[in-house]
Amino acid sequence: MSAPTPMSGQFARFAVSPARRRKDKLARAAITACTVIALIPLGLVVYYLLSKGLGSWSWSFLSTDPTGNTFFKASSIGGIKSAILGTVEIVALASAIAIPIGIGVAVWLVEYGRASGFAKVVRFFVDVLTGVPSIVFGLFIYIVLIVGTGSSYAGYKGSFALALLMLPVVIRSAEVILLLIPDALRESALALGAPRWRVIFSIVLPTALPGMVTGVLLAIARAAGETAPLLFTAAATDKTNLNLGQFMNSLPVQIYKDVTSPTTAVVNRAWGAALTLVAMILLLNLIARLISRRSRLA
C-alpha cells in the first residue's frame, strides 16, 4: 500500500483513502448546512418574539383587560388578562374532554380491538381526523351547537371544537406508546392472576405514562395556538369572563384581532400576547416533564 498516510506496516490496510475522506467531508458539510438552514427561521421566530414581545410585557399588561380603545395612546389600550384566562379555561376543558377519551380509545385499540375489523375502521377515521383542517372543527361545532340549537357563542363550545382537534393527536400518540409496551409485561401480570383491567391500570398505563405525556403536550400546544376553531364558537370579548357558558376571549383570537390594527401599540400587544402563549406552553411542558419524571422509577 502506498497511501500517503502516516500509517505503515501491518496497519496500512486500515488506512482511510483520501477519496473517502473527501466524500465524508462533503457529506458532513451538507448535513450541517441543512441543520443551519432549518435553524434560521426558528431562530428568527424566537428573536422577533422576544424583541417585540418583551417590550410590551409588564405587570399591567398581564393584569388588565383590553379596553377595546385602540386609537389613542399606548397606555389606554389595556392588557391581555381576559385572553390569558380564557385560553387557560377553554384549553383546560378541551383537555379534560380529549385526554381521557383519547387515551381510552388508544387503550381499547391496543388492548382489546387489536386487528379486528372495527379497530381498523376506528384507526382509519382517526387518521382522517388528524388531517382535517382546524377550521372545519370550528365549523362543525358552529353548525351543530350554535346554528343547530339557535343559541349563541360560548366558551365551552370553543372547548368542544378544540377537543375534537386534540382527539386524534392524543389517540395516535398514545397508541404508538402503548404498542411499545412489551407483551411480556402484560403476560407476566396476567399470569399472576390479575384481571385484564387491573393489568391495564396498574402495569400498562403507568409504564406508558412518560411517553404519553409527550403526545398529550403536543395536542395541548396545538390546541392552545388555534384561532380558527374559536372565532365562531367562543367568539371574543374584552372583559374577563370566567363563565364557560358565555363569550370568551382567548390569546390566539386576541392576537388575530390585534395584529391587523393600524396602531403600533396594538400590534405590539399582539407580539406580547404571542410571547405569553409560547411561555405558557413552555411552562406546561416543564411541569409535565417534571411530574412524569418523578413518577417513573426505572
Partner 1 sequence: MTPDGTSPQVADMEPESRTGLGRERIAPQTGAPADAHPVAPADAAGTVETKQGLSVTLEQLKAFYGDAEQVKGIDLDFRANEVTAIIGPSGCGKSTMVRCINRMHEEIPGAHAEGRVLLDDADVYDPSVDVVAVRRAIGMVFQKPNPFPTMSVFDNVAAGLRLGSGGRGGRGKADLHAKVEGALRAAGLWDEMSDRLSEPGAGLSGGQQQRLCIARSLAVEPEVILMDEPCSALDPIATLKIEELIDELKKRVTIVIVTHNMQQAARVADRTAFMLSGELVEVGPTQEIFTKPNDSRTEEYVTGKFG
Please report how close the Cβ of residue 117 comes to partner 1 at its closest, in angstroms.
Answer: 13
Position 117 contacts partner 1 (CB under 8 A): no
State which residue, 48 or 201, has the beta carbon closest to partner 1. Answer: 201
Nearer to partner 1 (CB atom), residue 133 or residue 195: 195
- Residue 293 binding partner 1, by CB under 8 A: no
Kindly calculate the radius of gyration of the chain based on its CA atoms and give it in whole angstroms.
Answer: 26
Task: Return the exposure string of 237-253: e unless at least 16 CB atoms fall within 10 Å of the residue's CB, then b.
Answer: bbebbeebebbbbbbbb
Complex with partner 1: residue 19 or 115, whichever CB lies closer: 115
**Residue that has been written with the C-alpha cell 386524534 in this structure:** 168
Comparing CB distances to partner 1, the nearer of 62 and 185 is 185
CA distances from 160 to 3, 51, 72, 165, 187 (A): 70, 35, 37, 9, 38
Q: Cell triple for residue 112?
A: 382489546
CB of 108 vs partner 1, minimal distance in Å: 15
Q: Which residues lie below 8 Å from residue 109, measured CB to CB, with a gap of 6+?
A: 119, 122, 123, 171, 175, 178
Q: Which amino acid is at 269?
A: R
- Please state the closest distance from residue 258 (CB atom) to partner 1, in A: 46
Q: Which of 9, 193, 262, 264 binds partner 1 (CB under 8 A)?
A: 193
Side chain identity at residue 28, one-letter code: R
Contact between 207 and partner 1 (CB under 8 A)? yes
Phi, psi of 66 (to 5 degrees): -60, 140
Torsion sign, CA atoms 147, 150, 152, 154: negative
Decide if 204 contacts 290 (C-beta within 8 A): no
Minimum distance of partner 1 from residue 193's CB (angstroms): 4
Which of 7, 101, 176, 198: binder of partner 1 (CB under 8 A)?
198
d(CA 288, CA 251): 21
> Toward partner 1, which CB reaches closer, 42 or 298?
298
Measured CA to CA, the distance from residue 184 to residue 193 in angstroms comes to: 14
Q: Is 184 in the site for partner 1 (CB under 8 A)?
A: yes
Q: Does 202 bind partner 1 (CB under 8 A)?
A: yes
Minimum distance from residue 171 beta carbon to partner 1 (Å): 21
Q: Which of 19, 37, 42, 297 binds partner 1 (CB under 8 A)?
A: 297
**Residues 138-167 within binding reach of partner 1 (CB under 8 A):** none
Residue from 18, 55, 148, 195 that binds partner 1 (CB under 8 A)?
195
Nearest CB to partner 1, comparing residues 84 and 107: 107
Length of the chain in residues, anyone? 298
Which residues of this chain interact with partner 1, rule CB under 8 A?
A: 114-115, 182, 184-185, 187-195, 198-199, 202-203, 206-207, 209, 295-298
